[in-house]
Amino acid sequence: MKPNFSRMLTGALLTLCLAAGGAFAALPAVDSQNQSLPTLAPMIEQATPAVVNISTRGRVAVQNPLLNDPFFRRFFGIPDGVQERETQSLGSGVIVDAQRGYVLTNAHVIANATEISVTLRDRRTLKAKVIGADPEADVAVIQIPAENLKALPLGDSSMLRVGDFVVAIGNPFGLGQTVTSGIVSALGRSGLGIEGYEDFIQTDASINPGNSGGALVNLRGELIGVNTAILAPGGGNIGIGFAIPINMAQNITRQLIEFGKVKRGRLGLQVQDLTPDLAQAFNISPDAALQGAVVTQVLQGSPADVAGIKPGDIVSALDGQPVRDGGSLRNSIGLLRAGEKVKLDIVRDGKTRSVEVLVKEAAQESQVGAQHEDPRLAGVVFGAINESSPLYGKIEGIPVVDVDPHSRAAQAGLRPGDLLLSINKKPVRTPDDLVNITQKDRGRLLLNVRRDSAALFIVIR
């Protein structure tokens, strides 16, 4: 008698799914031949009402250098002022609080939005308002009327393991709610340059444009990640998607709801990864796990300095949680609140010790321009590169936070996201430098800015 391979395979798949799942794990269904088949349908039916589709409308300034030329505008009859165009975007979100109507999504999904519409699983369309957004971690919270909503239960992303089954739910390419499945391919992905704070879950569950802000759930139907980005050299999904761990997103969400922004903590130290060469130089046993972050600089008078931390110390744990590398430590510090006390385990001269550090709030971005008396910079908001920024210690300059589209600076071509390096060939490292230079130089301003990977000069008269 030949073995029934179909039945054997079905039994094996069912065993795997039940082992990985839990309360809403893959459950057997019955086909026309009364054979049990594994299915995720019961879990998905519970989860999908909490996942929403998001569409936005907004307006952005048209960045065309020809429009800055008054002769060009006069010749073609283009009115003075900054030209704008309407933008539209599609994404996804997850209801995390049904009583208050809070929806978790990505910051880039609602960026520059003047109107946000949320479509539920039952086809209701509701207007939403922004509660808060954190572009550095790409997390945002919006609110919709709390009427007959269902929230998705939150899981614990720290319990994830490579190989766990996951399901991605979202709105790819604007097709409407779609479900894909896969596994956790890797954990703790960072250094990708996608966001300022990166600790991604990598998955091969298909994530495509429009899935951003959608849910990554385990087989219990619990939210364990927020779908954010894909690695797509050819423009399509190749099985490498990234999601923000829900533990990280939940911490940011609480602050956005309470303050409307994230108040990041500050310890006052710079770190780098612990490499095999550094481990050897610091006389760490080659058999020891190469985990931790090496302190490279301690700012004078900072919380780390007061606690006695020194350059060359190796931070191995924060509040009992192992530190993998410099990126994971920076992420952990960035999620701390001012006023909290944290315990750092450090290795110095081969000996382990614990120190307690009082967290201070990271220096707020100094805003210059909107209140600046100089009309040449009216409508421009600059910010200082504080130590929570991924650019801290790597480059000198001040970022352009916002530009009024009707300002002189916008007409000259200055954009939000530019990094100001110098004014009139004088280096600018802080907003105070900017004020000092503009007070002395009353003529035109020659700005040297860095934009993406290029640099350019902009003249403001």
Catalytic residues: 108, 138, 212
Q: How many CB atoms lie within 10 A of CB 261?
A: 13
Q: How many CB atoms lie within 10 A of CB 377?
A: 25
Tokens at residue 289, please? 């796990």
241 contacts 226 by C-beta, under 8 angstroms: no
Q: Name residues whose C-beta falls within 8 Å of residue 117's C-beta, 6 or more positions apart in sequence.
A: 54, 55, 56, 125, 126, 127, 128
Residue with tokens 């916002």: 402
What is the C-alpha separation between 163 and 246, in angstroms, rounded?
Answer: 18
Residue with tokens 């589209």: 405
